[in-house]
Amino acid sequence: MTEKILKCPVCEAEKFSLFLEVRDYFLTKEDFLIQHCNACGFKFVNPRPDKASIDRYYQSDEYISHDSQKAGFISRIYTIARRVSIRNKYNIVNAFAGKGKILDIGCGTGEFLNYCTTKNFEVAGVEPNSKAGDFARRVNHIPVVSDLNDLEAAKGSMNCITMWHVLEHVHDLNATLEVIKGLLNPDGVFIVAVPNSTSWDARKYGKFWAAYDVPRHLYHFDKDTMKKLVTKHGFEILKTIPQKLDAYYVSMLSEKYQSGRNRYLKSFAAGFLSNFMAGKPDRGHSSQIFVLSMKKA
């Protein structure tokens, strides 16, 4: 079943325009429409599969973001990049949140949280994918629940909440942000990473840009729309941090979607140029991390 967005999730305006028609190159080869709000510019898939139907778009052995043991060149590159990324994520958390309770929403198989346990963090995870959640509990010994709303008893206790490329997957965007706000302690930080739809590589690849990843990515953020969304929920942006490795990985997949084959040298060049051009007005890096805190009264 599909559902249609009638009000912009960011500003609640009701007039949208077509931004792009994009194919699900990863799995189903279905076409989806990305619209943008005429008032604030926020981009989102519309219409989209409803919550009861979206699961089938994740049912693939190649969905490596929830799997630690895939073979193949791209998967090996992803695994190496993830190890570097985990250390970088920890450094960000440690710099802004310090020690305490950390909740990772969309924790996958739990590698990031497992690393945090070695640094004396108290950890918890949310993972709706049963296979990934079971792996996190069984192999990495992470306490994981399948639904964010199962953490009612943890209200106001989290020193840090993270969402690493998860917010764009969430159907109930505003409701989820309100739950997150309730789980943070007053001095806590919320760290969220999302693809950036105004990056150089997004503009270069257009409908072939892998980070559109329709319909799994329901929303397509940039710095301006992220600021408008989080301000609406009482957060302020402390810092924006680039994820430079993502430009290379996304360009690798985008080249394959566009040409039908792997073009590693072109992918590397595109990733390099994307990072180089990120400082231009209205660009930014292929993926960006936003460090947020709650506004003080």
List of the chain residues with pLDDT < 50: 64-68
Whether 173 maps to a domain, the answer reads yes
- Two tokens at 203? 């503009």
Domain boundaries, position 100: 60-294
Q: What tens digit of pLDDT does each residue of 149-201 get?
A: 999 889 999 999 999 999 999 999 999 999 999 999 999 999 999 999 999 99
CA–CA distances in Å: residue 38 to residues 74, 154, 290:
38, 38, 24
Domain count, the chain: 1
29: in domain:
no
pTM above 0.85, yes or no: yes
Distances (CA, A) of 250 to 20, 208, 234: 18, 10, 32
Domain harbouring 102, CATH code? 3.40.50.150
In a domain, 199, yes or no: yes
Among positive and negative, which fits the CA dihedral 92, 229, 196, 50?
Answer: positive
Q: Are 166 and 105 in contact (CB under 8 A)?
A: yes
Up-side HSE of residue 158: CA atoms within 13 Å toward CB?
A: 27
Q: Does any domain span residue 286?
A: yes
Q: Is residue 191 part of a domain?
A: yes
Asked whether residue 95 is assigned to any structural domain, the reply reads: yes
Does 17 map to a domain? no
The verdict on residue 194 lying in a domain is: yes
